[in-house]
Structure 1
Amino acid sequence: MALHALIGAGPATIVEVGGHDGVTGSMSLYFEELGWPCLVVEPIPALAEAIRRRRTCIVVEAAADTTEGQADFLVPEGSETIATLDNENTAHSRIGEHTGAVSRIQVRTRRLDDILHDAGLDRADVVSVDVEGNELNVLNGFSLSRWNPRFLILEDNSFGRDQTVRRHLQHQGYRIMRVTGVNHWYCRADDPALTVLERTRCQAMLLAVRIFGIVTGRGRPSG
């Protein structure tokens, strides 16, 4: 696994925000099977319970956001992977592509800082965030200076049109280092993984994704 190669021998603490069923597309499952500590955040009750049945990781049933509270969560029938909080960021999600029924449930919202603290973690080496457009809200509830993750992996469905998350992370000392599909990988500017070759490949991929978005008309711009 490419991420394992970057991390090295480990163990590292892996945090996955937006866990779905804990198996389908899971980034953390591979590391859990190595015996590494993992925490998965998933707001949909049935999916959180599925993770508890299938996995040994810490499972937190909540939506990571900027504040503690309650919020509406939109769940497309048969397409739970694009479920999203019903807030100002919904326009940046893919839920508009869903043609079937969409249910609305109430979920608990929590800051990622509080989730990690209450789980008894003292580190978060790798943090993956797949929350359908709500990535910046997750980051605003997550103190990078406190947890100092080595790698951040965030979904970006804007095809390069929305630079808000990238600018936020650059301000915090992180740089984009790799692009795999819709996932953008970040590390600190001084991390040895951020080689000249990685930067060159990343910039080429970002350009290709941007061109693809323009040609196909895909992507959700900011604002």
Structure 2
Amino acid sequence: MLIEICSENIDIALKAQEKGALRVEICNNLSIGGVTPSYDEIEQSRRQLDIALHVLIRPRGGDFCYSTAEIARILRDIEFCGSLLTEDGKVIDGVVIGALARDRSIEYGACSEMFAAASEYGLSTTFHRAIDRSRDIFKALERVIDTGFDRVLTSGGTESAFEGRNTIARMVKMSSNSGTTIMAGAGITPENARQIITETSVPEIHGSRLSLLDGFI
């Protein structure tokens, strides 16, 4: 079981590493669902952490329908992450990206551009919780799989992964023969984590609570 800790500051990320986490996702402003951290924060996080590091690429809070200018900014941020190389040879391992069209279907053109930009640098790709805002989560998952994403972060289209565990279980089955992993996230606690894992068969979970690591590391 891989537990990804979501962190909006380097101190939490370092504590996660000390507790045995294998991967951290960094972002800013979790109160609005997370946005892209500054380039300096990304660089400092990569320098100080030795574990896998993924970066949320989201230009603003609110919906996931982006303008042409916002998509261009996302692509620049992906390029920055992909080209970052520290003095001791560390690189960013992955980016967390995604977009929806106005009708809340997957914005296939923009997502394909993002995926291609990330793949050019060998970055692992996670489709973020935009999928939980899509009008049909299963059709959206098919699109994400077709695009080639490595994983999908989801609560099953609900407020929490515990609430959405039946949908997540179906998503795991749908993706079982693809190269796309389902990662459960949102409202996962030490108290409900094992039930979510057991009932969904997800191989990865995502959360901001360091205490999640206590039962699995």
The TM-score with structure 2 as length reference comes to: 0.40
Structure with the bigger percentage of strand? 1
Pick the structure with more helix per residue: 2
Q: TM-score, normalised by structure 1?
A: 0.39
Structure label with greater radius of gyration = 1
